[in-house]
Structure 1
Amino acid sequence: MKLLRDLRPIGLPLSSALPSSLTLAHPARRMRMVATAMLLAMALLFIAARMIGPVHPVVGFIQAFAEAAMVGGLADWFAVTALFRHPLGLPIPHTAIIPRNKDRIGDTLAIFLRDNFLTPAVVARRMGGLDVAAAAGRFLASPSASDGRLRQGASRLVADMMEALDQERLGGMVKGAIAQRLRAINLAPLIGQAIEAAMRDGRHGPVMDGIIHWADKTLEANDHLIRQIVHDRAGKIMRWTGLDENLANAIIDGLRKMLADMADDPGHSLRLKAEEGMQKLASDLQFDIVMQAKVAKVRDEIVDNPAMQRWIDGLWEQGRAGLLRAARDPGAAMAGRLGEALRQLGGTLQSDARLRALINRFVRRTAVGATASYGDAIVTLVSETVRGWDAGTVTSRLENAVGRDLQYIRINGTLVGGLVGVLIHVIDVSF
């Protein structure tokens, strides 16, 4: 019974030393129970052999086996216990090794990660043997042949990550990036080149016809304004004789006849003059810095317009909703035009060696760059996390991870000690 009381401080329940129908949940605790039960069985066997006495030579072998097994089991119990706590609660030197050195363990683990996994040279060497592009090509070309659980799991992960992100912040970043890209576009040369190409191919004719037709309709709808202007500027005599009305009609008829002639005659002088102005506008848009600055100012005003901002907001929401739908249902996403395009991309990745090499190089450089930029931060995170744990947390986590194997050491020590005891007894009785 004294042995049972001595074993309780190491965290073993007293009932674990005795046969029980209760099953412990954790494998390490079950193995601890088995190792302790073996040690107690050796103690009981030793007591029984001493009580029986030398009635038969076999009893001596049994007693030697039990005695040495107790010594081996107790020695290994002490060694295993000393890793995690003070045996029997006594502050024996060089015990409770892990709790006393948890900070050094965290630093050592962080250094191990840095030196063996999170260095650019190691990552580059590891990534050098991976053909990421080919694997992506096989998946895209034959998504049905891929592991459905992997695809569904990855889809759920992507969807959950997108929903977990701060949508206001993420949306602001995306919308800000769209607005920034719009502001970065130099529209003036693009517009000038479009006008120049249209005029070179003769595609500006319908535009000119549309402008002339619009001018004619505008003149017809606002001829009363011309009449009013002429009436207001005419003298009293002209108004009294009605010549102001005749003059207004003559001006309106002349303008309408001029527009009709321009519409019917592609070589009309005014039409040619307008085309000359278009050519100059195209040239200024491409080469005049002042004109380009004016267009850029108009562009920025349009981007800053609330209506344009609302359009960008809608564009982001539609894009995010589409990505979420595709992530939640990858099968439906792969069935449409997007799926066909992705399958073609997968085939191209498998057949084009240069494209694969380019993508693999990009992936490798990205991984190496991320390691160089964030490797030290990850190492620091590991070290500080372990330092932040209390001694009990570190002890319990490590003991749960390796405790089962440590209990096997106790079992093996008990059996090996018993066999050594039998060997010593054989030598003793032989000589």
Structure 2
Amino acid sequence: MVGVKANTAAKFRLYPTADQAERLVSWSHTCRAVWNIALAQRVWAYGSAQRKTLQAGEQCSELTLARKEHVWLRDLPAQCAQQVLRQLDAAYENFWNPEHPARSPQYKRKSHQQGVTFPGQAVQIRKVSRRMAHVRLPKLGWVRFRLSRPIEGTVRNATIKRDGLGWHVAFGVHRPEPVDRHVNAGPAAGVDVGIACSVFVSTENEGRQRPDTLTAGEKQRLRGLERRMARQLTFAKKHNGGKYSKRLRRTIAQIAVLKARQARRRADWNHKLTDDLAKSHGIVAVEDLKVSNMLRSAKGTVAQPGTNVKQKAGLNRSIADQGWFEIRRQLGYKTRRYGGELVAVAPHGTSQTCARCGTRDSENRQGCGRLFACVHCGHTEHADRNAAINILDRALSTAGRAGCAASGRGTAQSTRSPHGQGSLAGSRMREPSSNVTAA
């Protein structure tokens, strides 16, 4: 079992005491400092004349020496600092992987999301009631969390994070793959993602529109808080040397609450959508969209300024809010889990091609309306449903209806990394000695 990585994750609400929360905040800042120092060291070593590439193994020995000199670094559990270096290794590995969309590792600011990662063998879990459990963390003791679902498998790591709504713990869990994988015999479906219509499935007559992630009152409050923050930032720069006041920090915290609530509602809708699609369909076809390229700014340079910059910025916000890449990432591992297959096809011309006669013509789409009208055969259809049917036809012609239906799985294109399963990376340390135990 040595070297087995996590292939799924389980996230729960954490309830640390005031002292535990204060120490977790301190540890998260220490982890951020370790990341920034290690990254700076690697950048310097690679930019030197030797062009040396540092790895976590070399930096761990230097970390041991640094812990003897600095008390603030020694207070952080050694395993957590080592996990930071391993995460930096994984970040560089993803950056150099041409099939992975990750950018080069970046320095973390103080406002970055706070988090601490513990290896699996340093964590113990015990269930104390039907809905509550404790997790034992090094130098912190037992911390209470809400057991909203059972933890099935071997715990490989635990990550503690805080957002605007409080603390959470995410366990990276390894579940053994079944010997006889279930084959999903559901019908094949093409999925078209958009903005005016969030998702349209080729087997349905109506599109699926995600509800607003914020109510009208919450949107109004968010606008007011953002304006207040802008005024307070201006005042801090002019009269306070850029130092944040308590009122400004309180405003930022109130904005973080609304943003975290919005992100939680968006994630809930995406998970419910992808669960339903993966369970109901044996083949799910999507467009192979390069979302990171689509989100690039149009402002250009000083010599060659861009056009329609504000309109493009609004479009970028809408694309990011819909979570196209996240939907595809979740479909990637959920279709495998339920015995299906995800097929990504070329997106070129799916919205301009007639699903009945197969003719591609830009005149088929007049304006930005939701109506598709073929100028050759006269076929009319909802534009997004027509695109979803085209996506499905391309997937079936690429993979073959009989082969996919018989196997239920295949060589679907990776949606993230060829080594990952759409979940948290597992610890590279030795196998933990225990799982969940009763109190």
TM over 0.5: no
Higher relative contact order (CA 8 A, sep 6+): 1
TM-score, normalisation: structure 1: 0.22
| Structure (1/2) with the larger strand percentage | 2
TM-score, normalisation: structure 2: 0.21
| Structure (1/2) with the larger helix percentage | 1
Look at both structures and tell me which one has the larger radius of gyration over its CA atoms: 1
